Each structure stands twice: as C-alpha cells, then as structure tokens.
Structure 1
C-alpha cells in the first residue's frame, strides 16, 4: 500500500490545526500508522496537548499516532546528511557562511525541502518514513500556495541534474490524487469562506487539485426556526432569539454558497469543550 498524504490548510483562526489533529486521530483509529506533521519553527501542539517537546524526529502521542515538527532548515539538514552520509561533514556544509547565505536567499528552497520530505515516502527518496499516512498541518492559505508552487518553480529554474529531477518528481507527486488529498478548513463566515473558495479554485486551475472544503465550528441550534421566532415575543428571550435567528440565517447562507462551489464538503460543529483531546476526538467523530 502506498503512503497517503493529507494536506490541511485554511485561513488563520479557523481551527485548521485542530481539524488536522482530528483527521490524523481518525485515520490512526483505523489501524493505520499515522504521522501528524507541523510545519515551521514553533509547535502549536506542544502547548495545545501539553507535551514536553516536539521535534523533527517523530514522537508517539497515541497508539498509531505520532507527531513531528518540520522546518525548511531541518529538512535540508536531514537531506544533506542522507546524501553526504557523514553527519559531521553535513554540519560543516551548513555552517559554511557562503552556503548559509545561499540557502537564505535561494527562492523557494526551504519550501522545496519541506515538500521533498513530505513526499519522500511515495517517491522512495531520502530516509525511510515508516508510516501509512502523513497528515500535514500546513501553512495558512497564502503561504500554502507558495509551498505547492516551489517544486515547479525550482524545476523551471534548474532543468537539468538531480535538483531538477527531484523537483519534477515532487511536483508530480503533489498532483497525484491517489497519493495526496487536500482539505481546506474554513468557517461559516464571509471572509474565511471567500478565501477558502479562492484557494480551492487556484488549486484546481493551477494544479488540477480537487480540494475538499471543511466548514468548521458550525453552531448546531437544537430548536426550529419557528420556535426561535416565537421566542422573540418573550422579553427575556428576545435578544438571544434575535442572535440565534441572525446566526442561523448567516450559516445557511454560507453553507449554500459552499454547496454551490463543490459537493466535496463537510461540516463540523462547534464543540463546547476545553479539554484538547476531547475537542479533537469530537471533531474526529464527525469527519467522514
């Protein structure tokens, strides 16, 4: 079975990381070995799950579920060590002032290194990654597009040699719908949904990627619209009833817009929980 990769992105503040963790948890509960990957230099999940440390090397959190933190720099260093075979020589390479300056100014090189690491399993290139699924808590929408564009950009800039070949290999992999799945998390609100739809259209036109939309934090109202209208005549309930009516109307409007955009759509309710694992488990229970 080929390793499957799930990319989870979305505008900041929409609950992207919680949904990524929930997806990873749900996949792990099917018996698959799952790696949840954070991108960047700082770990959100360290504080969220109250973990002692999160690093480049995977650490197990739950049965079949591990967590790692990958940045452009750490991915580059691992790949250099893999190629050079001697860690001390790899460190000399990266500590060289000229090479550091090149790495810092080379456009898209950190993103390319990250994408190379993420797709190393299906491409069978680089250190082994012994997981059935990799769930990537990816960058927010704007930076996420740059992340996907990096392999194609490098392949165009370097058309020959190993770097060009690897860049084309990564680009082919991220466009393969059998290997890579894409999930855009948004809220039932105008601006986040607009940004999510724009990203989805860009992925479709530029990469032939059919991304799924996940409408997060939907307020489930356990009474009918008729009862809400009736409650407006009660002075004690009027303000709350008006709020519910307005919120319900807006949610339905946003859901209608999302449904017109795609049938690849899931909704996740707002859970009134404070325990991180209960939140993630609750979201996992609602993901298809």
Structure 2
C-alpha cells in the first residue's frame, strides 16, 4: 500500500441525487485508488450493475468479481442483493442451508419478507459491515478500501438510517447487537467517509 493511503478510512460511501454522476464518481475513485496500489472493492446494491458496466461487465454478480487487470493494486466488484445477504447469513453463520432452501423459498414467507419494512436495507448494510469489519469470518477476500455506490439520496439515507431505527425499536438480542456494531462503523470517521455528489445547479443541491 502506498504511504499516503495508510490512514484512509476503509469504507467510502458515495451518494447524491439521481442523475448527478454518482456512479461515475464512485468508479473514478475506485480506479484512482487501485492505481495507487490498493485492493479496492466497488459495491453496488439491489443487484444493480451500472458501475460494473463501465468495464464491460454485462451482468452484476453477488460474488466478488475482478473488474480491471494490470493495475498496481486490484479492483473488484460486487452487487449486493437482500436475498443473497440473507442466504449467506443463514448458510455461513447459522449453518442452515436446508432452512433457507425450504422455508425462505416458500411464497408466503417470501411475501412476508418482501413486505417487512427496512429488512432489505438492514441486510444490505449488514453485508457491507461484514466486508469492512469481519471479512475473514465470512470467508471473504479482504480489501484495503471498500467504495459503496449507494442508492440516490432518499433511498441512500434510508439505508444508512436503518441501524438506528432498529436500535430504537429492538430492546435486546443479536439484532440489537448487530445494529449497534453497524452504527459504530458508520459513525467512526476513521473507518467511514461520506462523499456527497452534486451539480452546481438548483435542483441537485436543494
């Protein structure tokens, strides 16, 4: 790692109103840091692959996928889906692949999960937390820098607020513990930095 990058926060969150070039900024930051010698992971949500398409990737994947070669560092990509995060948690942490395959593929259970407020956001930000703080526990490749191309401002704020919502709603147990851990990461400026992308126009900055 280059000396000038050793004190960087490990998680960069990039957000802004739709159409302001948020994904372009995320991709540019990721490429610039990979050129400095860092192992960079570029993260999208909801199964989207806008950033990955800049490198000719036609389909986004929940698996970590290399984007560019012949760099001093490395540049990988992942697109998080709530279903993927839920399955990974049940299989890797609870050792219950059969539970996922039988229960969570039931259409009535699926309707309940899809309607549960904030669940998709909690699973998504929980996956980000695991990649930043505990990749080894999930058999994941460790990266020097993780850049989250977050949803546009409204949905992006919901994603970042959901751990606080859980903290206020849950009195105890593993869910509260995980929400506190995620909040600690998001509020720690030595681990997390937020980049707001806008244009010098009235609507994007309003």
Tell me how far 1:124 sits from its aligned partner: 2.3
Superimposed CA distance per residue, residues 2-23 of structure 1 (whole angstroms, 9 cap, x where no aligned partner): 9700000011111100100011
Moved over 4 A (4+): none
Tell me how far 1:71 sits from its aligned partner: 1.9
CA distance in 2, matches of 1:99, 1:167: 23
2:20 corresponding residue in structure 1: 14
- Coordinate RMSD, CA, aligned: 2.0
In the alignment, structure 1 segments of 5+ residues that lack a partner are 195-288
Superimposed CA distance per residue, residues 175-211 of structure 1 (whole angstroms, 9 cap, x where no aligned partner): 11011110010011111122xxxxxxxxxxxxxxxxx
User: Contact between 1:84 and 1:90, CA under 8 Å: does it hold in 2?
Assistant: no
Computing the radius of gyration from Cα coordinates, the structure with the larger value is: 1
* Aligned-partner SS, 2:19: coil
1:23 corresponding residue in structure 2: 29
2:167 corresponding residue in structure 1: 155
The alignment's TM-score, normalised by the length of structure 2, stands at: 0.86
2:3 corresponding residue in structure 1: none
* Aligned-partner SS, 1:49: coil
Q: What is the aligned length?
A: 194
Superimposed CA distance per residue, residues 35-89 of structure 1 (whole angstroms, 9 cap, x where no aligned partner): 0011113321344332243200111112400111112222122112112324343
The 5 A counterparts of 1:254-273 are none
* Aligned-partner SS, 2:60: coil
CA distance in 2, matches of 1:184, 1:3: 16
1:268 corresponding residue in structure 2: none
